[in-house]
Amino acid sequence: MSPCGCWGLPVVLLALLCCPGSCETAFEVYVQSEVLTVESGMTWKVNCSTNCTEPEMGGLETSLTKNLLDEQAQWKQFLVSNVSQDIDLHCYFICSGEQQLKTLNIGTSYLLEQVLLKLQPTRVAVGTWFTIECRVPAVEAFESLTLILLRGKETLHRKTFEKTPGPQEAVATYQRLAHRNDSHHNFSCRAELSLHSHSREVIFRISEPRMLDVYEPMQDNQMVIIITVVSVLLFLFVTSILLCFVLGQHWRQNRRGGETEAQRG
């Protein structure tokens, strides 16, 4: 037997004793979030997992509201909500008495602070055109943004803006003929924002409602007719008074002239 063969087994045993973890899989913890930037008040899912086959304990450390949705030996899924500012999420597991921690920072955004709706004009006659405009100023980078123009619960028009690298203003306009019952419904705009393509979570905000004043054109015609008739009657009345005055003066002059001739005779 060669000298190398005699020393081979003791060397291997010595290496295992000196470096017990060298041939074992490293114990690690992973954290995965549906989104990395959230809107204030948004709810989303967070997964904590490990490669330890039999962890003794694990979970999610955060000051936010969290609910355990599902779990297996090597992973846990949480529903997280009530975020109001940037915050760190901490996933941890304990394996063979050793604890590992993984931290993920979640940023908070206020992308839909303003959803502005405008009607032009605000007072229209039945059968005439008016414009509905929805505007969301200075939207940060997003996956998709959809503006939906509503009449009550009825969708009139929708416009989707695709992914952009930087801030932009989103505007959707729609022209419509005024109907009689338009004045009985609120007009509003719903903005739906998706931050990431892999997330199903949609942030939405609705504008302040606006009312449209709709009137019948015939009402104006009738008013014109009434004003015209009143003006004519007033003119006739004043004219008759003037005629009566003129005729009265003429009658008095004739009477005085007759009395003067009678006295002379």
Determine if the pTM surpasses 0.95: no
* pLDDT, position 214: 93
130 and 178 in contact (C-beta within 8 Å)? yes
Whole-Å CA distances, 102 to 61, 98, 126, 243:
10, 14, 64, 104
Residue 21 binned pLDDT confidence (cut-offs 50, 70, 90) = very low
pLDDT of the residue at 147: 94
Cα–Cα distance list, 18 to 5, 11, 14 (Å): 21, 10, 6
Which of 40-53 are b and which e, b meaning 16 or more Cβ less than 10 Å from the residue's Cβ?
eebebbbbbbbebe
Nearest by Cα to 187 from 172, 171, 206: 206
Contact between residue 91 and residue 106 where contact means Cβ atoms under 8 Å apart: no
Query: Do 131 and 175 contact (CB within 8 A), yes or no?
Result: yes
What is the per-residue pLDDT across 141-183, written as a single tens digit (0 to 9) for each?
567 889 999 999 999 999 998 876 666 788 999 999 999 999 9
**pLDDT tens sequence across 32-77:** 998 787 776 778 899 999 999 999 999 999 989 999 999 999 999 9
Q: Of 49-63, 79-93, 186-200, 213-227, which has the strongest mean pLDDT?
A: 49-63
d(CA 111, CA 140) in angstroms, rounded, equals: 6
Tens-place pLDDT, residues 112-130? 778 999 999 999 999 999 9
What would the 3-class secondary structure string for 210-243 be?
Answer: EECEEECHHHHHHHHHHHHHHHHHHHHHHHHHHH
Q: Find the mean pLDDT for residues 216-237.
A: 79
What pLDDT was estimated at residue 153? 93
